[in-house]
Amino acid sequence: MRRGIESTRRCLTALTILVIAAAWYLLSRTVSDVLIPSPSKVAAAFVTVMKEGYKNISLLEHLGVSLKRLVIAVVIAVLSAVPLGLASGYNASIRAVLDPVIEFFRPLPPLAYYTLIVLWMGIDDRSKITLLALAAFAPIYVSCSSAIPKVNRRYIDTARSLGASAGQVFFLVSFPAVLPDVFTGIRTAVGVAYTTLVAAEMVAAVSGIGWLVLDASRYLRSDIIFLGILIMGITGIALDRLIRCVEKAVVFWKGNE
């Protein structure tokens, strides 16, 4: 049964990709190549950039620079947002202090405060990583703080009745129970940070996938723009799959409660 469902899902996914590719091809035949380059033109741009690079920098180096900024920022966000979010969920006083700040900061567009970050930290990678870390912080914090109150009280009461200390209750009951929400927050944060990557590479950058797309737009290189967007999308999917694999290994009981 499960194999049949999985096979159907894969067929639907493949069919969706084919339909999108066909629609892309048909649109490229009806409008100018400057607006929508054909799949073959984008493929040729990929081959050229792989061989010669873009602005004397290889495509893999552009991608590596962007992923380095993204990974460092997400690690910083996880290390700071998870403990603060869990503490906020546990303690009403901590929540009363942190929530107004987070709720004010969370809806702000990254470009609204990026100029200030550049003024404070300079134009090197520190400002870019800081922007991405701030963008990734809020989703993780919100997921963690909202997960704690949802922990089943019966599990906690049972552990306490068996003589578990407060620390044991947290590490053996509450923390495992909120791990699915923590990973959901991390997946959301990676997506938000990746969408902010273009903004982070707008100022004084000379490398990175986001910068590649922006620089190509100045010269109306729509084939390079499409290529960069495709690479960012595929990389985003790969990162999400990687996080889901880690989640499946760590939270192996998810769905089997």
Q: Considering the domain boundaries, does residue 227 fall inside one?
A: yes
Q: With a cut of 80, say whether residue 34 has pLDDT above it.
A: no
- Whether 62 and 181 map to the same domain: the answer is yes
CA 162/CA 180 separation, integer angstroms: 25
Here the CATH number for the domain that contains residue 73 is 1.10.3720.10
Query: Do 96 and 137 belong together in one domain?
Result: yes
**C-alpha triplet 85, 196, 231: angle, nearest 5°:** 120
Distance CA 101, CA 145 (A): 14
Residue 149 buriedness (CB in 10 A; 0-12 / 13-18 / 19+): exposed
Does residue 255 belong to any structural domain of this protein?
no
Report, as an integer, the average pLDDT of 107-118: 84
Q: Is 67 exposed, middle or buried (0-12, 13-18, 19+ CB in 10 A)?
A: middle
pLDDT band at 255 (very low <50, low <70, confident <90, very high): low
Residue of 182 and 3 predicted with greater confidence: 182
Residue 17 covered by a domain? yes
- Please give the share of the chain, as a percent, with pLDDT higher than 70: 96
The confidence score (pLDDT) of residue 189 equals: 93
Do 45 and 23 sit in the same domain of this protein? Answer: no
Whether residue 9 sits in one domain with residue 124 = no
Are 14 and 103 in the same domain?
A: no
Asked whether 59 and 48 are in contact (CB, 8 A), the reply is no
Q: pLDDT band at 168, cuts 50/70/90?
A: confident
Please determine, for residue 1, whether its predicted confidence score (pLDDT) is greater than 70: no
95-to-34, 86, 87, 150, 180 alpha-carbon distances in Å: 51, 10, 8, 16, 21
| Together in a domain, 145 and 96 | yes
Identify the pLDDT of residue 6. 73
Kindly state whether residues 7 and 99 are assigned to the same domain: no
Together in a domain, 44 and 91? yes
Q: Are residues 86 and 169 in the same domain?
A: yes
Identify the domain containing residue 18 by its residue range: 1-30
Same domain, 141 and 81: yes
DSSP state of 150: G
Mean pLDDT of 228-250: 91
Q: Is the pLDDT of residue 119 over 90?
A: no
Residue 152 DSSP SS3: coil
Q: Evaluate whether residue 256 is within a structural domain.
A: no
Mean pLDDT of 141-166: 84
CA distance linking residue 237 with residue 240, whole number of Å: 5
Looking at the chain, list the stretches that DSSP marks H as alpha helix, in order from N- to C-terminal side. Answer: 2-30, 39-52, 59-90, 92-105, 110-121, 125-147, 153-161, 166-169, 175-200, 209-218, 222-250
Question: Mean pLDDT across the stretch 188-207?
Answer: 83
The tally of domains found in the chain comes to: 2
| Residues 39 and 26 occupy one common structural domain | no
State mean pLDDT over 204-209: 80
Confidence of residue 254 (pLDDT cuts 50, 70, 90): low
For tokens 């922990």, name the residue: 151
Helix (H, G, I), strand (E, B) or coil at 54: strand
Same domain, 128 and 148: yes
